[in-house]
Structure 1
């Protein structure tokens, strides 16, 4: 009897132990599954944030880069710039991991000291500063055409003048938002910005199906290469530049490893490249040699679908401009004021930056020029030169080693693109429409298809230069 009781108690203890082990195992499995789902969601959001930082407002300038480089070569260059961006982003994070740094500034400072930090700060200021000028130029291009679609509004009205609208938009909307000290709330609208970018793409694709048969193609529309290749690379670099956000996104990962980051970067860059190719192809084939730096300048004022696209793009710009101002202000704050700005200095710096960008956009109205110069002078060193330079300095192998061949090649490419592209942009500036309607918007459908070569050439000159001879 006592034996049976002991045996029963032993069995009972064994059963309880077994149940506890089984319960612990089940809990462990559930916890692992929840943790895996959290990590997957975290990776997805990191990829989304990286895509969103690439697919910015510069996308509208990609068709213009096809016009500069030649359509076939332009597509190849776009793929090449996407590859270089992908590679340099990974190099940047590798460099941070190897040096024990977690920001772009600290990495460059550790590698090249204060002079390197200062040079990086100049590039990091110029990029958002020129982007803000570009956004104001686009505002001046888009808003007059939107307002003129309102019944009863005359094209001669003072309030549809591009300069008036730029000043009003800056004073009433962008400057007050840019004065916020914290951009976190504004950052939550990034999803809206991305959705609007897709909406604009759909409109471009839909209009391409009809415009390709209505608008005559220029004679050099399909040549393989054109002389302005370096400027085209500058525009593409401007679009793909996202290095300023990489360390922030990398730091948000649950498992922040270089291999994990590499996978996220590859997928994000492939998706971004696919969308960029859609913008480039459908935007360029619609207008070929007439393609402007601001693609919406090519669409006629009476085009209702294009008006919707302009409206979506205008919202995107208004949401993005204050973010760029925040970056430019932070650079000034870190370099000159130790990262701390009093309320008075905060207002003064913000007002000065916004005023300067507004002044530039009132004087110049050709978006293409600013896309070229910003890409060449700011994006090219941030994408092509600095990340591989940091990696090569950190590498234990000599610079001529085979493992360092690609970083060295990218570095040399950047050192060629930057000076040559700048000289080409200055010596051979591209003309723009200056807000005027394109000739095909002024022609009736019956005459559009019966254009003689002489009148075609004359109208091309009028559209692009404003001169008839």
Structure 2
């Protein structure tokens, strides 16, 4: 899941010359002394290459995986694969830009790169974008609770259809879960132990993928339930046909969903900090392997989910299974695992937001319990309100994936690279900086097109039959 993993209490260490890229050895200097080798960290990283891959994979993995089958149903297999490859490659290049920029100035935090590139406004912009993205991530997690918890309660009660009881209302349930579980955890001063839930979260998603593959061979198309209860009165002859390339009104959400699923960039530098013998090449390998692993997992999940429900795939895949067999024990176990994982992840994601807000609004202030509590309460109230008002998890994936995701993947890394890499080393008309400028422009184009198409979909007035409710 999207969460930050930082270590404390390590010893100071100075990397050897062969561990520090050449561009790292020319910058930071003592005011009255010789050149000092810049460091990515003030302590010695002890995390192995394999564990760093695991940590970054957890940072990439998130609720976006639940929307990938829906994206494939509105693009077709071939177009989806092409888009997935493009987003994965661009994410890897974005990590390269961040590592090069951080290597020059010895900085290990995303918002501090903004400070180095554009001064205080750059730090504010980076912190705000990260905050908004994490709010979107928290909203997507709570939306899963809103849509899945009533189905779990329904299954435990042995009911095959919903009821009007208050405990079957997702809006009430997210408020109860927030007040009883998330808020007490979010009010703690330190939340380090919940970092262990990252392993559980990844295990849940592997379990989810296994269930999706298994159910593909046990759910027969055409789906009579959809034929009886869908908006259409009858199932068309193409309801179970595999589509390799298609474009429709819902295709506008495909790229934002994919971008949302690959955002991990605020966590790249903290993980780099903890890497044993940190070099740009080793960390780039960590990024490439993590992205490749998630690429395979994403493609398998999207493909088998799509080949199970075809055009009837909903924006939140788990919710689609309830239309076939609400009492299915395997899917019930998957739901419970995912619900526990996302619920425990919400307070972890909230902590970086609160820290960013405290740095922006109360810089230099010592820890203060009333301020600590009020910020947590306000954030959770805002997120709950968003989840209650937003009718579809697709909208959360779409808006977050169309705004903060391209900012974190495309726009800010490209701008940081152009501003931070010295012109003496790479002139503004050099190929690397032209590539970074094109990368940044691609981010603006992607954001503009996605928001335009999503806006057209919202204003079309057509009834949305796909969703997690």
Tell me the TM-score normalized by structure 1. 0.80
Structure 1: distance between partners of 2:297 and 2:373: 38
Deviation at 1:124, TM superposition (A): 0.8
Select which of 414, 437, 445 maps to 1:408: 437
**Residue 435 of structure 1: how far off its partner (Å):** 5.2
- Is the CA contact (8 Å cut-off) linking 1:105 and 1:117 kept in structure 2? yes
Matched, 1:349 2:375: yes
Q: 1:54-88 CA distances to partner (integer Å, 9 max, x unpaired)?
A: 11222111112223433321111111111111111
From 437, 449, 452, the equivalent of 1:420 is 449
Aligned pairs for 1:338-417 (under 5 A) are 338=363, 340=365, 341-395=367-421, 396=423, 397-417=426-446
Give 5+ residue unaligned stretches, structure 1.
Answer: 1-37, 437-469
Superposition deviation, residue 152 in structure 1: 5.8
Q: Which has the higher helix share?
A: 1
Corresponding residue for residue 196 of structure 1: 204
Q: CA RMSD of the aligned region, Å? A: 2.2
Deviates more, 1:158-167 or 1:39-48: 39-48
Partners of 1:132 and 1:182 lie apart in 2 by 19
Distance 1:369 1:39, change over 3 A: closer
Deviation at 1:288, TM superposition (A): 2.0
| Equivalent of 2:129 in 123, 135, 141 | 123
> Which residue of 304, 320, 326 maps to 1:282?
304
What is the match of residue 162 of structure 1? 170
Tell me by how many angstroms 1:237 deviates.
Answer: 1.2
Structure 2 CA distance for aligned equivalents of residues 247 and 91 of structure 1: 12
Q: For residues 302 and 130 of structure 1, what CA distance do their matches in structure 2 show?
A: 30
Query: Residue 67 of structure 1 aligns with which residue?
Result: 73
Alignment of 1:457-468 (within 5 A): none
Q: CA deviation at 1:99?
A: 2.3
CA contact (8 A) 2:142 2:343 kept: no
Q: Is the 8 A contact 1:293 1:432 kept in 2?
A: no
Aligned residues of 1:230 and 1:421 also touching (Cα < 8 A) = yes
Instruction: Determine helix, strand or coil for the equivalent of 1:268.
Output: helix
Greater mean deviation of Cα atoms: 394-403 or 340-349: 394-403
For residues 229 and 94 of structure 1, what CA distance do their matches in structure 2 show? 34
Q: Distance in 1 between matches of 2:266 and 2:447?
A: 19
In structure 2, do the counterparts of structure 1 residues 404 and 209 end up closer, same or farther at CA, with 3 Å as the change threshold?
A: farther
User: Equivalents in 2 of 1:126, 1:48: separation in Å?
Assistant: 25
Q: How many residues align?
A: 399
Matches within 5 A, 1:102-181: 102-151=108-157, 155-156=162-163, 157-181=165-189
Alignment of 1:231-380 (within 5 A): 231-300=253-322, 301-338=326-363, 340=365, 341-380=367-406
- Shift in alpha-carbon separation, 1:79–1:427, aligned structure 2, 3 A: same
Measured against aligned partners, the alpha-carbon deviations of 1:215-237 in whole angstroms (never above 9, x if no partner) come to 37538851514155553221111
User: For structure 2, which runs of at least 5 residues remain unmatched after alignment?
Assistant: 1-43, 224-234
Q: Distance in 2 between matches of 1:73 and 1:297?
A: 24
Contact 1:98/1:394 (CA < 8 Å) preserved in 2? yes
State the match for 2:30 in structure 1.
none
**8 Å Cα contact 1:86/1:266 also seen in 2:** yes
Aligned to 1:450: none
Tell me, in whole angstroms, the C-alpha distance in 1 between the residues paired with 2:443 and 2:254. 14
Deviation for aligned residue 1:211: 2.6
Contact 1:64 1:295 in 2 (8 A): yes
How far apart in 2 are the matches of 1:220 and 1:401?
Answer: 49
CA distance in structure 2 between the aligned counterparts of 1:362 and 1:267, rounded to whole angstroms: 38
Q: Counterpart in 2 of 1:55?
A: 61
2:119 alignment partner, SS class = helix
| Structure number, greater radius of gyration | 1
Deviation of the 1:164 alpha carbon: 1.6
Which one of the candidate residues 224, 230, 233 is aligned to 2:245? 224
Please give the alpha-carbon distance, in whole angstroms, between the structure 1 residues aligned to 2:257 and 2:105.
31
Q: In structure 2, what is the equivalent of residue 96 of structure 1?
A: 102
Deviation at 1:145, TM superposition (A): 0.5
Q: After TM superposition, give the deviation of residue 166 of structure 1 in Å.
A: 1.1
SS of 1:188's equivalent?
A: helix
Shift of 1:290: 2.0
**Separation of aligned partners in 1, 2:140 and 2:254:** 16
Deviation of 1:387 (Å):
0.6
SS of residue paired to 1:211: coil
